[in-house]
Structure 1
């Protein structure tokens, strides 16, 4: 069965060679998935196509060695060509994440097929209206944010007037209620953000530097996942309605 039918966005790592303080990308990924991360996105603005294919191969092998190829989704940011080339070489890649100015989702779906995951960065401008009206037939999830300004993606949340729009927890809660597909939130997310973010109703969080630049990536990844799971469990228990009420 395709992982698209049952993928988990709860703990989502975005990583590239420019984010690891010189440490191997595959080591960071290994630490993250052993700690419970459920989705990995390869993203780099400096790596060549050949380098990206190799990073994707290494990530796929790390996931397979952990026995999690059917549990942890592996995506590549923007580069449809890299995914197609990687698949041609027998590398398991589960899908793509694109932004509003990247390759259209319809093209991604056409080339990658119905078994692939296609994620889209939700539009910053008039976001609430966009979430309510956009055609999601070709999209599996939205990425939105930022929760805070972030140096790993300085244009995250850039509005039409050139200003960075930070998303409040109240707005994220409204987005989660309105979105017809799963929503994952990132942008400067740190451990202290996880408890309130878990209570907004979003499906997950995504991080870059909180794990990739941590002194101990495995410890930080473990703390993020444990805290998310604890607060989501607490939220689920709170939201259950007793039949005796």
Structure 2
């Protein structure tokens, strides 16, 4: 079974060198893996292509050292060129995450192949209409948000008029119900948000600074994973 077929986005870390409070990216990733995170995305708007390739190499190696190469997906944000160059060097990269203004998903799929993962940021405006009408045959999951305003990605959640649109838990529940593919939600997510988020029916949460800039990243990551699992277990138990 390919990693695409068993993709787990329940605990999803997004990380880059600008979001680690000066600590090595690979250290943050290792802490998250030990805490039980299931998906890692390398994202940076300041790193060069070569720096991104090296970060991807380090991330791939630490995932392999943890014995999780077959279970934890490693993705790169936006940079199809970086993924192709990394693969050319023998680095295991499982896929890409793109936004609406990035490289089209069908192009990503053509170059990366059927076993690769392609994630897509859902439009902030016209969200519910979009998520029901978009062609998702080439997409493995939607990334949605923000739950709160976030400085990590200041343009996240802007509508056509440049106004910030955050998502309520009611919005997210509706989103999970309407989406034909799994949904992962982020944007300022904190520990206190995990229980209500888990109750919405989405497949997971994604975080950046809640782990990468925490005083103790491993502890922060562990608390997030525990809260998610406990909340999902409670939801399952209540259904029965």
Tell me what 2:49 maps to: 49
Distance 1:215 1:175 in 2: 33
2 CA distance for matches of 1:239 and 1:122?
29
Partner of residue 102, structure 2 = 102
Match of 2:58 in 1: 58
Residue equivalent to 2:235? 235
Q: Does 1:18 align with 2:36?
A: no
Corresponding residue of 1:75? 75
Aligned twin of 2:162: 162
State how many pairs are aligned.
240
Which residue of structure 2 lines up, in the alignment, with residue 243 of structure 1?
A: none
In 1, distance between residues paired with 2:176 and 2:185? 10
1:61-210 map, 5 Å: 61-210=61-210
What is the alpha-carbon distance in structure 2 between the residues aligned to residue 186 and residue 197 of structure 1?
10
- Alignment partner of 1:215: what SS? coil
Give how far 1:2 is off.
1.3
Partner of 2:223 in structure 1? 223
Quote the Cα distance in structure 1 between the aligned partners of 2:87 and 2:228. Answer: 33
Q: What is the deviation of 1:153?
A: 0.3
3-state SS in 1 of match to 2:4: helix
Cα drift, residue 129 of structure 1:
0.6
Structure-2 separation of matches of 1:33 and 1:233: 21
Give the TM-score, by structure 1 length: 0.97
Tell me the secondary structure at the aligned position of residue 5 of structure 2.
helix
When structure 1 is superposed on structure 2, of 229-238 and 138-147 the one drifting more is 229-238
> Structure 1: 5+ residue runs without aligned partners?
241-245
Report the Cα distance in structure 2 between the residues aligned to 1:81 and 1:178, rounded to whole angstroms: 33
Q: Normalising by structure 2, report the TM-score.
A: 0.99
Detail structure 1 runs of 4+ shifted over 4 Å in the superposition: none
Q: Once the 2 structures are TM-superposed, how far is the Cα of residue 239 of structure 1 from its aligned partner? A: 2.0
The whole-number CA distance in structure 2 between the counterparts of 1:239 and 1:164 is 35
Unaligned runs of 5+ in 2: none
The aligned runs of 1:21-32 (5 Å cut-off) are 21-32=21-32
* 1:236 Cα deviation from its structure 2 partner: 1.3
Note the alpha carbon deviations across 1:53-91, whole angstroms, 9 max, x for none. Answer: 000000000000000001100000000000000000000
